[in-house]
Amino acid sequence: MQDPIFGWIEAERRRQEEGLELIASENYASPAVLAALGSVLNNKYAEGLPGRRYYGGCEYVDEVERLAQERLKTLFGAEWVNVQPHSGAQANEAVLLALLKPGEKLLSFALAHGGHLTHGSPLNSSGKLYTVEHYGVRPDTYRLDYDEIREKARTFRPKVLLAGASSYPRDWDWAALRSIADEVGAFLVTDIAHPAGLIAADLLNDPLPHCHIVTSTTHKTLRGPRGGVIMMGKDFDNPFGELTPKGQPKKMSALLDSALFPGVQGGPHMHTIAAKAVAFGEALQPAFRTYARQVIHNAQTLAHTLMELGYTVLTGGTDNHIVLIDLRNKGLTGRDAEKGLEKAGITVNKNLIPYDPNPPLVASGIRLGTPALTTRGMTESDMRQVAHWIDQALTHLSDDAFLSRLREEIREYLKAYPLPYATVASLSLGHLSAPAE
């Protein structure tokens, strides 16, 4: 008898293949990325950095990590990187730990307007340890207002100005943010977890020349393994008076390295670092730029078709991979829409809209994203079809028979866009079988 866990993995593989994946933070990593994740590098402890480890036997994982670093530097034009964060949350935690003492001030994008839990939510260590204020979007345009951010920064005087979002469909003006940070003497940090792949492909404004420090995840538009990174366009002497044993100012990179390990994490996950290196290598190929451009075209087509169908698309469109829908004119909540769409095999997440009258678990909107469907090879004509399916599902939310027929239609359609993943049945799992009775 095979371990039932592999049955669940196979069921999940089928779910991913047979449904429309529109969660903006998800993607399909390549088989090469998954192969690195499932490799023997999982078995290795390697605390420290390449050439400076606390364990023996690191000669090969050193090469892996060096290659991951070099590829990431090339991809983003960064002078310094750390590829060890287990996730974006740890990357952000380490950066704040390096820059702020408990009680010091952080100004960031409000979670309820599209920010992130790790940007100062009271539920997260960032909100518990630091004094936090937020900026948001304008109620009339749902866009950032850089004059308002400047005013807030002048009054609040943060030590860190944090930019970046998990549901904001527009690009950021990094130069404007840097001028605000400089005016109030703050560090400008941004978290590009969502648009990283689009930035790597040079399709959105580049934060590296403007921000002191940039964090990201590697599994969203960047299409790699689940994980995080920290980068700097240019390293600089730390302004906190921390000295090296030789009496020189420590570089900011040294503070960030030690904030991550041992400040936040233990041993790095070398299998994930290998998978990051594979994904960075893929993102350096010309085909990735074509992919990233299609992600944006697909999101714009989805947004426009939904607007033609009478949906309220916040900000009137998108610059990136995200489409935010306010469902109030349709008399629906995000929660009900998410549930009904799931019955039709369309996976989205309910999402607060800025100034939402509903609580987070109900929410008035849904967030859609095109990275995963674009990886399957879908283009604009498919997006028009997807928009019509979403509309059909949302207009038949209480008709289970209709939703199951739609699910079947979608499943058939998706056979033309197969995923390149091996089924569990095709893997050799003999050694995991239970002994014969």
Choose, from 10, 47, 104, 235, the residue flagged as catalytic.
Answer: 47
- Does residue 166 belong to the site contacting ligand DSN (CB under 6 A)? yes
- Does residue 218 belong to the site contacting ligand DSN (CB under 6 A)? no
Q: Which residue lies nearer to ligand DSN by CB, 199 or 403? A: 199
Choose, from 118, 215, 217, 305, the residue flagged as catalytic.
Answer: 217
Residue type, 392: Q
In angstroms, what is the minimal distance from the CB of 23 to ligand DSN? 7
User: What residue is closest to ligand DSN based on CB?
Assistant: 25
Does the active-site annotation cover 356? Answer: no
In angstroms, what is the minimal distance from the CB of 99 to ligand DSN? 21
Cα dihedral 87→88→92→94 (10° resolution): 20
410 in Cβ contact with 19 (< 8 Å) = yes
* Distance, C-alpha 326 to centroid of its chain: 22
Q: Which residue lies nearer to ligand DSN by CB, 65 or 356? A: 356
Does the active-site annotation cover 45? Answer: yes
Q: Which residue lies nearer to ligand DSN by CB, 61 or 353? A: 353
386 in Cβ contact with 368 (< 8 Å) = no
What CA–CA distances, in Å, run from 3 to 72, 424, 429? 38, 11, 9
In angstroms, what is the minimal distance from the CB of 117 to ligand DSN? 7
Q: Which residue lies nearer to ligand DSN by CB, 123 or 427? A: 123
d(CA 304, CA 318): 9
Choose, from 13, 143, 150, 226, the residue flagged as catalytic.
Answer: 226
239 in Cβ contact with 231 (< 8 Å) = no
Does the active-site annotation cover 257? Answer: no
Tell me the backbone φ, ψ of residue 421, rounded to 5 degrees: -95, 140
Q: Which residue lies nearer to ligand DSN by CB, 105 or 116? A: 116
- What burial class does residue 205 get, using C-beta atoms within 10 Å of its C-beta: 0-12 exposed, 13-18 middle, 19+ buried? middle
In angstroms, what is the minimal distance from the CB of 116 to ligand DSN? 6
Residue of 25, 84, 126, 305 interacting with ligand DSN (CB under 6 A): 25
- Does residue 190 belong to the site contacting ligand DSN (CB under 6 A)? no
- Does residue 108 belong to the site contacting ligand DSN (CB under 6 A)? no
Binders of ligand DSN: how many residues, by CB under 6 A?
Answer: 3
Choose, from 17, 65, 93, 191, the residue flagged as catalytic.
Answer: 191
- Does residue 221 belong to the site contacting ligand DSN (CB under 6 A)? no
In angstroms, what is the minimal distance from the CB of 288 to ligand DSN? 21
The dihedral sign for the CA sequence 261, 266, 267, 273? negative
d(CA 96, CA 264): 11
- Residue 286 makes CB contacts below 8 A (sequence gap 6+) with none
Does the active-site annotation cover 217? Answer: yes
Residue type, 58: C
In angstroms, what is the minimal distance from the CB of 136 to ligand DSN? 17
In angstroms, what is the minimal distance from the CB of 166 to ligand DSN? 4
**Which residue's structure tokens are 């995963």?**
372
d(CA 216, CA 271): 18
The 8-class DSSP code of residue 204 comes to S
Does the active-site annotation cover 293? Answer: no
* Distance, C-alpha 254 to centroid of its chain: 25
- Considering only residues 361 to 390 of the shown chain, the ones binding ligand DSN according to CB under 6 A are none
**Which candidate, 133, 220, 148, places its Cα nearest to that of 180?**
148
Q: Which residue lies nearer to ligand DSN by CB, 162 or 255? A: 162
- Does residue 90 belong to the site contacting ligand DSN (CB under 6 A)? no
Q: Which residue lies nearer to ligand DSN by CB, 83 or 324? A: 324
Does the active-site annotation cover 118? Answer: no
- Does residue 126 belong to the site contacting ligand DSN (CB under 6 A)? no
34 in Cβ contact with 271 (< 8 Å) = no
Residue 292's SS3 state is helix
Q: Which residues bind ligand DSN (CB under 6 A)?
A: 25, 116, 166
The catalytic residue positions are 45, 47, 191, 217, 220, 226
